[in-house]
Structure 1
């Protein structure tokens, strides 16, 4: 293992930090634009689907190529593709063509780039750092994402108030440029593929089956994936509906939407900070199960609040952010520890596809249900289901024994 891994991560984190802030600002500006323009849960659900579906569909195939290609170049080209697509959309808006279909197309194209960038980044981390530091690195990654989640919405709210949506999109291009430049200054080793075979359809299909077998052969890991996928089926729709709950139930506006986004980011910052400076002694599986329950409680309780209890909604949102941060870091670390390095790209891509496709179905129906029964009741129902998932996880022996012999 390269002894200069800390220097590499510092350079990598600087580029990713700037890129994440700009992307967070653009994403939040789009959410505000859609929320205030339409006030429709269905429109927000369709926007989320447009941002998720391409990545879910091509993810398994992207994972195979990620494990075959140079991961550094893969991330550079993915960032560059996203920047070019965003530039095209910005130019279209500049000439006055602002429409929902164009927003959906933009989100879809950004999703294609993410299908290659995100798994390549996660698969590269174990090749850069000692295994004993993976959970701490995951915690620091959560800090970076959290700070971006705090500064991004503030920047996005300011930008959408001062600029047109077309000009706001340019922030994403600047962020992508910083991410690409930072990658040029570091060396990322590549794992050795199982076989140096041509990337024919048969070989790609076999690689995908191998990755699927890698997950299913470990019963505990399989249950971890299963519960996480079912959990995301409920979490994803709730996450998309946060702005509408703020507007419709708590009678908020841009300022209140920004507060909720920032507070969620503060919660994730606290959670990431805890893991960055402190190594918990309990099993990562227990942390994941407890965070499922805690996230469900915050969602259900948020839906139960009356319209004049916005302050309590803010507090619950902060607790939810902390829980999500601890959950994400623990889950990612378990995958990086349990899966062979030369298969991480495929496994992360498969997991994302398996989790997002059901979530898209949930988003599709939740948009209609929320418009019909009310957003607050949607929060209550889905929150209770997430609590049930966490409880069931504790009564699954194979999952509870996963990584039992490994200390955090």
Structure 2
């Protein structure tokens, strides 16, 4: 394979102006959101000095998505998705401005700050599924995987740079300026979406309320490729998510050096970024289902090897491999979902994907902590990796449709559908 074909495919950015503007705006807003997370954690800690309150920040973000996600997905499948995205982006900007005002004028008590975070997350519950439906509208099928890989590297860039920038801005100018920066980035996301075409859900819109949700769940149940993709991701994260183990493993095996702990987190992210930069090696492959299974299995192998690694550098290399495998799996999973879901159901299926992505890591980190409490950090990490390998093998053996799931062959000369 030529080096050019191995690198991140930027054809969607060149061929589709609406996708390019949307991607730029969402990249900036993702960066601002990560900055705000640091500012919120800092403000809550400074006012409470309680880990219970800082832990509640994660709950304020997760609970609205988990509770409202499927209903929001049904709404996305009933109305113009562009309008939902614009409204929810505006809602997030308003929440960021309210956080700014309270920080600059009269700081709210912790519960008030968390209420604003939860309100912002309610917007994410609907805006997230809406945004996930845009790629099939804006790009030809053969560019879907490349577009999803671009979205992935945007997310990873925000995860890497956002917390550092948030810390610098908060430390130098205060949390209010950090919140204001987030509000401005939401303006960029809003403007980036203004040029999108109208995005009707499809020939048959979702039924209202619970009936629409049940229709979406029924589709998941009877579509083995998508069901298998979501089960693989859920099993992988629930059984082997390692983040909560890092402090304990660092203390058990590497003398509790904070520099090593920081490198643990960085290694996973760096591995993911490298995989995204070379995503042409897997986004051009014709069987995204097999690619996903291979990536998920490699994630489990890498974590098991990390638990058995003799030294810090070997462990860091295994974590970098795990981060790369995670990126491969995520992009391939989204490709399977986007190419095997009718447009009229894509909001609900995207909501289910978002819920799995939100709940799986949280439950997995809790599971790892419980296992480590009764055994050790190393045992929890190795056993989690082995369980992941077993779960992926089980899904692979029992879900032939996932193994055979295909994607259109990329064509560098393909042009995206014309935008307005």
Structure 2 counterpart of 1:234? 239
Structure 1 counterpart of 2:304? 300
Change (3 A) 1:192 1:398: same
Per-residue CA distance 1:172-227 (angstroms, 9 max, x = gap): 212211111111233343233515x8x7xxx3222222222222222233222222
Match of 1:346 among 328, 340, 348: 348
Change (3 A) 1:296 1:400: same
Q: Does the residue aligned with 1:395 lie in a helix, a strand or coil?
A: helix
Aligned counterparts of 1:402 and 1:208: Cα–Cα separation in 2: 28
Match of 1:8 among 18, 22, 26: 18
Superposed CA RMSD: 3.7
Per-residue CA distance 1:309-343 (angstroms, 9 max, x = gap): 44444333322221111111110111111010121
Match of 2:193 among 160, 183, 198: 183
Match of 1:121 among 128, 131, 136: 131
Aligned counterparts of 1:274 and 1:30: Cα–Cα separation in 2: 34
Q: Deviation of residue 131 (structure 1)?
A: 0.6
Change (3 A) 1:359 1:151: closer
Aligned counterparts of 2:110 and 2:70: Cα–Cα separation in 1: 28
Q: Does the residue aligned with 1:189 lie in a helix, a strand or coil?
A: coil
Matched, 1:204 2:209: yes
Per-residue CA distance 1:348-372 (angstroms, 9 max, x = gap): 1134335645665555555566567
Match of 2:270 among 253, 262, 266: 266
Bigger mean CA deviation after superposition, 376-385 or 321-330: 376-385
Matched, 1:148 2:158: yes
Match of 2:62 among 52, 59, 74: 52
Aligned counterparts of 1:150 and 1:400: Cα–Cα separation in 2: 32
Structure 1 counterpart of 2:223? 218
Aligned counterparts of 1:3 and 1:139: Cα–Cα separation in 2: 12
Change (3 A) 1:65 1:286: same
Q: Deviation of residue 258 (structure 1)?
A: 5.7
* TM-score of the aligned structures, taking structure 2 as reference length: 0.79
Bigger mean CA deviation after superposition, 48-57 or 273-282: 273-282
Q: Deviation of residue 288 (structure 1)?
A: 1.2
Per-residue CA distance 1:91-137 (angstroms, 9 max, x = gap): 44446757764564444333212111111111121011101110111
Q: Would you say the 8 A contact 2:13–2:20 is kept in 1?
A: no
Q: Would you say the 8 A contact 1:64–1:208 is kept in 2?
A: yes
Structure 2 counterpart of 1:327? 329
Q: Deviation of residue 400 (structure 1)?
A: 4.4
Matched, 1:131 2:135: no
Aligned counterparts of 1:164 and 1:244: Cα–Cα separation in 2: 32
Match of 2:388 among 381, 386, 389: 386
Aligned counterparts of 1:3 and 1:101: Cα–Cα separation in 2: 42
Aligned counterparts of 1:247 and 1:185: Cα–Cα separation in 2: 51
Alignment of 1:165-180 (within 5 A): 165-180=175-190
| Unaligned 5+ runs, structure 1 | none
Aligned counterparts of 1:313 and 1:28: Cα–Cα separation in 2: 27
Per-residue CA distance 1:53-87 (angstroms, 9 max, x = gap): 21011011101111122212211221222222233
Q: Does the residue aligned with 2:92 lie in a helix, a strand or coil?
A: helix
Q: Deviation of residue 260 (structure 1)?
A: 4.7
Q: Does the residue aligned with 1:205 lie in a helix, a strand or coil?
A: helix
| Unaligned 5+ runs, structure 2 | 1-11, 411-420
Q: Does the residue aligned with 1:192 lie in a helix, a strand or coil?
A: coil
Structure 2 counterpart of 1:65? 75
